[in-house]
Structure 1
Amino acid sequence: METPTHIPAATLVLFDESAPGPARHLMLQRTETMRFAAGMLVFPGGRVEVDDHAIAASPTLARNAPDEADDSAARVAAIRETLEETGIAVAIRPALLPANIPAWRAALKSGGAFSALLSKSGHSLDLALLTPFSRWYPKHLQHRLFDTRFYAARREGEAEAVHDADEAAHLLWLTAKTALDDAATGTHRLMFPTARNLERLAAHPSLAALQTHVAATPWRVITPEPLEIDGAAHLRIPEDAGYPVTLGRP
């Protein structure tokens, strides 16, 4: 049997620290009609596209790009997908005016190239404003396998998050603990990677705390290991990757 090809993807965890206490994160409840993660509560994100690589390789469109080309392109994808899915613009310089966001979203939704939008308007992306904190590379049997890089960034501007009705039924700003509590009561459903990352975020509830934690934690690509416990399927991840919970149900 052929080894399945992983689809490069990127996810952005936004930190809203405008109020005292733990940061809130923007999450989407995916529509029940989606092929992947239908009805699940997820962070904004999606596939890395060819145009994302072109932006990342352009000194005029992307500043402070990391040395690894795939990392740079994934950061671009995280910014683009978050803008398209939620209307929140991050790491775009100069900052995108809220009044211009609907037109940019409409252009992206209709298949317009992000690179063309940036070039025409004279904007660029500051990729250093995204902090990489995780990369998930599952190998257990699924319909589609994603190689997903998770990034963190601070919420910018005053634009309100507005969901894309094709992909998301709702948008919610939640603390990591609230999202986990909602999942425990059945209010929302979480995929295994989302739950594990929320637990990590709950343990480091500000962007500065997460950045300090990431800097002190050895980098690991996370490949969950499937196993059976008392007749039930479970997944396990490495214990030295910075996650407080390493075992759970799929």
Structure 2
Amino acid sequence: MNVFPAEPATPRPAAALIPLRDGVDGLECFMIERHGALRFAPGATVFPGGGLEPGDHAPSWRALWPGAAPDDLPWRVAALREAFEECGMLLAEAPPDPGRLAALRAALAAGTPFSGALAGSGLLPAPHLAVPFTRWVTPDTQARRYDTLFLLAPAPPGQEPLVDGGEAVAGLWTTPRRALDEAAAGCRRLVFVTRMILTRLADCPGVAAALGEAERADLRPIEPRLVETPAGAVFRIPVGCGFDPVDTPVEKVTLG
């Protein structure tokens, strides 16, 4: 009897925000540690993010954009929403009143949709401050797949991160190099795309340099492919996509 492989799962659109700041040792990014019981990337240290929701496509978001809104606005909204839900930071033009931020968190915890909770809070998010940096698609070898746009943004001034205690159990500011070194020492779990992004950011001395990289970034989707080579199986990414190495042995790749 012939057994045919199942069709690859369709990637779910997703977005992630990488908050940045200049620290004593150079560029720092804010990351969260995922709960160990989650089905996807349990216990991994990742950037705040998640799948797009219907409300992220609401026409009302276009009123927040200074001019004609871009096609990626729903991804920007999702990145802002997820960052606020998971670590309590709202990307905004000016430092928001702490009481309004607390009220917004309470409204979301009560089940109010993000757009409705924002309208009631009087807070004004600034999705135009987020800069698309790279777009990655989970390999078709995985049952759970995402097509994720990663965006960089200066950390909102005057706001202290506050993880939700649900999906995110801890948060930290770290330099990209420190996070990579801790993962190499077995002290931190990084999925493949996070490790690749940290490796690229590690070459940026500060926020301005990282945002400059994003402004020049190639946003064509990067989907690692499983390839057999004489030296063994690797996950391969396109040459010239802005990330290295092109080939990574499968035993060194954590996908979820």
> What TM-score comes out, normalization by structure 2 length?
0.87
* Structure 1 residue aligned with 2:3: none
Report the equivalent of 2:63: 60
Consecutive unaligned residues in structure 1, runs of 5 or more: none
Q: Deviations over 1:9-53 (max 9, x none)?
A: 110111122x34422111111111111100111011111111111
Letter aligned with residue 14 of structure 1: P
Equivalent residue number for residue 7 of structure 1: 12
Deviation at 1:58, TM superposition (A): 3.6
Equivalent position of 1:120 in the other structure: 120
Give yes or no for contact 1:52–1:74 (8 Å, CA) kept in 2. Answer: yes
| Aligned match of 1:137 | 137
State the secondary structure of the residue aligned to 1:60. helix
Match for 2:170: what amino acid?
H
Q: Secondary structure at the match of 1:222?
A: coil
Distance apart, 1:203 and its partner CA: 1.3
CA distance in 2, matches of 1:112, 1:231: 53
Report % sequence identity: 36
Name the CA distance, whole Å, in 2 between partners of 1:163 and 1:219: 29
Which structure: larger Rg? 2
Given candidates 2, 13, 16, the residue that maps to 2:21 is: 16
CA distance in 2, matches of 1:232, 1:34: 31
Structure 2: runs of 5 or more not aligned: 1-5
In structure 2, distance between residues paired with 1:169 and 1:232: 37
Q: Are 1:136 and 1:148, in contact at CA under 8 Å, matched by a contact in 2?
A: yes
Contact 1:61–1:115 (CA<8 Å) still a contact in 2? no
Aligned residues: 245
Q: Judging changes above 3 Å, is the alpha-carbon distance between structure 1 residues 116 and 93 closer, same or farther for their aligned structure 2 residues?
A: farther
Instruction: After the TM superposition, list the runs of 4 or more consecutive aligned residues in structure 1 that deviate by more than 6 angstroms.
Output: none
Distance 1:101 1:41 in 2: 25
Counterpart position of 2:86:
85
Structure 2 match to 1:200? 200
* 1:12–1:21 Cα change, 3 Å: same
Q: How does 1:183-222 map to 2 (within 5 A)?
A: 183-222=183-222
2:156 corresponding residue in structure 1: 156
2:53 equivalent to 1:49: yes
Let me know the Cα RMSD of the aligned residues.
2.1
Note closer, same or farther for the CA distance 1:58–1:184 as it changes in structure 2 (3 Å cut).
closer
Can you list the C-alpha shifts for 1:64-122, whole angstroms capped at 9, x where unaligned? Answer: 56421xx10010011111111111111x3554222332321232233211111222234
Aligned counterparts of 1:42 and 1:231: Cα–Cα separation in 2: 30
Which amino acid in structure 2 is aligned with residue 74 of structure 1? W
Rate the CA distance shift 1:198–1:105 in 2: closer, same or farther, 3 A: same
